[in-house]
Structure 1
Amino acid sequence: MRLADLDVIVTAPPAPGWGGRYWSLVKVTTDTGITGWGECYASAVGPSAMDAVIRDVFARHMEGEHPENVERMFRRAYSAGFTQRPDPTVMGAFSGLEIACWDILGKDRGRPVWALIGGRMNERVRAYTYLYPRPGHDMTAFWTSPEMAAESAVALVEEGYTAVKFDPAGPYTMRGGHQPAMSDISQSVAFCRAIREAVGDRADLLFGTHGQFTTDGAIRLGQALEAYAPLWFEEPIPPDNLLEFQEVARAVRIPVATGERLTTKAEFAALLRTGGARILQPALGRAGGIWEAKKIAAIAEVFNAQMAPHLYAGPVEWAANIHLAVSIPNLLVAETIDTPFHRDLIRGAIAVEDGFVPAPEAPGLGIEVDEALARAHPYTGGQLHLEMQEAPCNYRDGNVFLGGAPPELP
């Protein structure tokens, strides 16, 4: 059996774009006719350029190989161009293709992917979700309303979720770290207070940021939130300076979580060595794929750290996350985006049940991709999967960050 054919499908979820503006799905077929699906979570170049990168990685490093040889193919891609270092775009392309290899292997052997990477450790996977607007909520006002956030949290807890995430402290700018506006700190405290009062101890609060603060700014914000005992303080500073994470971790009594923008065990291991984080959030469509994420989990175990696979993408990456989560002992929780489009794209094969995702039992990733639906929603815009704004932090009028993938940037 050899990897023989590749197709790339760029699918755009309906507005407001939960999971990003588009998802790069890959369909890999062997010379024996087995098809595997993967998803590439890399967004630094546009979808047409990413299509070319994916096809180049496949043709250069994978075509003609047996899908079992993921280690060999990884080393080729990792070392390509005489680099031998993490490259988020190349590794994003490889990650989706590698996920497809595991889907193929599982289907060939009639076993779910988790059975091929160590077996079933967990019967079900604890899930968390962002707070999204509920019916009747104003889609714009929601993101600055502690009251609406609390209502959303209560509804999700009643559905069975035991952890909810929110990120009220903007903005996310290309300028890198900044000091938070005092109004952003106050709003963040108000969100934590309202949600904690609404759900009590029935759910963990996951405070999200996206690397937007300076080290000192993150410490100021984190210390203001300590009274509400969030389970984590997510990516409080830019991911390009791993040493600074330890300063935040030492100063704030909230566990630091990070990893959605990191790739390969090299970056995660460096973070663990410094004590900068004890909750790791790899995005499997960027971090190197399922096998590399399994290695990251093993390294984390040595440091008494836990895994919380990240998801701001489509349901194919979600499926990969779940198989990893089923197989590892140091699982904390896994992110989910449970929209009708996510469910329909994989024909409801994976779903959240009372706040947990049962271990899939079908071969491979355990999903059936609705290819016609994927092709019926092509991405035709010119923006990236997600983008940071150019305008700096607004210290006078406050900052608003709209969830999803709004069509126009502020």
Structure 2
Amino acid sequence: MIITEIETFLVGNPWKNWLFAKVHTDEGMHGIGEGTLNGFAKTVEAAIHEMKHLVIGMSPFDVEAISLSLFRDLYSDGGQIQGSALSAIETACWDIMGKAVNQPVYKLLGGRCHDKLRCYANGWYRGPRTPDNFYEHAKRVVSKGYTALKFDPFGSAWRALSKAEFTLPLEIIAAVRDAVGPDTDLLIEGHNRFSVHTALQFAEAMVPFKPTWFEAPVPPQLLSSMVEVAKRSPVPIACGEDFYCREQFAELLKHDAVHIIQLEPQFLGLSASKQICGMVHAHNGVIAPHSAQGPLCSVVCAHLNIATPNFFLHEIFDDFNEAWEEDVLIPHTKVVQGYLNVSDRPGFGVELNLEEIAKHPYHPGNWLPLFRQGWERREGQST
């Protein structure tokens, strides 16, 4: 069996255009992958088509060689764009392998380590950035059975804030804690916003609300800043979603400062992701992969997580998207009382619904502008 062609499909999700790939083989079997990247959907699509000549003619079973070719052989550092294109192709090959041997992908990754996956809700807090709005939305989320919620209370903040701006995020965190009670995990999203000093000030101030982690409080480019915050923060730090190669995780882990690692399989592919999970395991850490792209990304993460002994939490946006988005994949994967079961169908167990995809074309305004007021509404932007 060899790879013969790769197709791509764009979906106009209002707050982030989704990109999917379909890898074809000479035996009529195909696999699907995802390459979504905020603000760069068409760029990644172009990268897939520029890079596909490297893998056409290869066996989809040779995922290590495919990953190496797509990462090394171009001799250019395309960062997350290259990583997203690589992952779309490589994960589709895992789907083909599963179908070919009539097994779910997670069994090819080492087999089941968990009966089901505990999920945390994200994207649930659309609407006004007020404590009351967050309170009401959080109530509804826990009523669905979720025992963990993630949210960014910081608006369009960047680096430093005035005293007045510092107060509202803490009021929002307090409102959510009041809504969900003492036993629900609160995960505070930082979106790479702050300087070291501001991050540490917030970490100290949120301690009374007992957050489970403070995520990506400072930008990832200066690893020394993340390590400093992690070593001084009274709240556990989580990060890793921005990294696109093993070496970046190796640099982070050697400092023994961050022990909640949010690798992004969408930038790495499954082969590298599984290896990074092992690296984290060797450092007594846990993984909570970033899964904030499209619905196939969530399915891919689910297969990785169920096969990883040091899995901690699974991220879910799917419950809080537009209603029609349930039909993009067939069948739709459902969270039940805050937990996700992983399908035993071959491959990833899902297929693209091309008829539904055709109804929702790409739009350049579909991206998440995290440093603009009102981004929390996830409504897309006019152009």
TM over 0.5: yes
Residue number in structure 2 paired with 1:2: 2
Give 1:383 shift.
4.2
Of 330, 335, 359 in structure 2, the residue corresponding to residue 376 of structure 1 is 359
Residue number in structure 2 paired with 1:73: 66
Residue number in structure 1 paired with 2:57: 64
**Are positions 1:126 and 2:118 aligned together?**
yes
Give 1:296 shift.
1.0
Give 1:86 shift.
7.2
Aligned 1:6-405 pairs, distance under 5 A: 6-13=6-13, 17=14, 20-43=15-38, 45=40, 47-59=41-53, 61-83=54-76, 87-130=79-122, 132-133=124-125, 140-141=127-128, 144-171=129-156, 178-286=159-267, 288-337=268-317, 338=319, 339=321, 340-379=323-362, 381-383=363-365, 385-389=367-371, 400-405=374-379
Preserved CA contact (<8 Å) 2:369 2:375: no
User: Aligned letter for 1:77?
Assistant: L
The CA distance in 2 between the partners of 1:41 and 1:278, in whole Å, is 26
The CA distance in 1 between the partners of 2:52 and 2:367, in whole Å, is 22
Preserved CA contact (<8 Å) 2:113 2:306: yes
Preserved CA contact (<8 Å) 1:170 1:184: no
Deviates more, 1:102-111 or 1:153-162: 153-162
Preserved CA contact (<8 Å) 2:260 2:287: yes
How many residues are treated as equivalent by the alignment?
380
The CA distance in 1 between the partners of 2:382 and 2:310, in whole Å, is 40
The CA distance in 2 between the partners of 1:204 and 1:114, in whole Å, is 27
Taking a change above 3 Å as real, the CA distance of residues 385 and 70 of structure 1, as seen in their structure-2 partners, is farther
The CA distance in 2 between the partners of 1:360 and 1:292, in whole Å, is 22
Preserved CA contact (<8 Å) 2:6 2:24: yes
Taking a change above 3 Å as real, the CA distance of residues 298 and 341 of structure 1, as seen in their structure-2 partners, is farther
The CA distance in 1 between the partners of 2:361 and 2:375, in whole Å, is 26
Q: Deviations over 1:179-233 (max 9, x none)?
A: 1332332112111211112211231001011101111111111111111110110
Give 1:82 shift.
2.7
Preserved CA contact (<8 Å) 1:86 1:264: no
Give 1:283 shift.
2.2
The CA distance in 1 between the partners of 2:103 and 2:62, in whole Å, is 18
Preserved CA contact (<8 Å) 1:185 1:224: no
TM-score, reference length from structure 2: 0.94
The CA distance in 1 between the partners of 2:162 and 2:374, in whole Å, is 12
Preserved CA contact (<8 Å) 1:307 1:331: yes
Preserved CA contact (<8 Å) 1:306 1:332: yes
Preserved CA contact (<8 Å) 2:287 2:310: yes
Deviates more, 1:147-156 or 1:315-324: 147-156
TM-score, reference length from structure 1: 0.88
The CA distance in 2 between the partners of 1:25 and 1:405, in whole Å, is 21
User: Aligned letter for 1:22?
Assistant: N
Give 1:97 shift.
0.9
| Structural RMSD (CA) | 1.9
Give 1:384 shift.
6.4
Residue number in structure 2 paired with 1:395: none
Deviates more, 1:364-373 or 1:266-275: 266-275
User: Aligned letter for 2:32?
Assistant: W
User: Aligned letter for 1:30?
Assistant: T
> Which 5+ residue runs of structure 2 have no aligned equivalent?
none
Preserved CA contact (<8 Å) 1:264 1:293: no
Preserved CA contact (<8 Å) 1:210 1:234: yes
Preserved CA contact (<8 Å) 1:78 1:87: no
Give 1:41 shift.
3.1
User: Aligned letter for 2:205?
Assistant: A
The CA distance in 2 between the partners of 1:360 and 1:259, in whole Å, is 27
The CA distance in 2 between the partners of 1:33 and 1:178, in whole Å, is 52
Give 1:302 shift.
0.9
Preserved CA contact (<8 Å) 1:6 1:26: yes
Preserved CA contact (<8 Å) 1:131 1:164: no
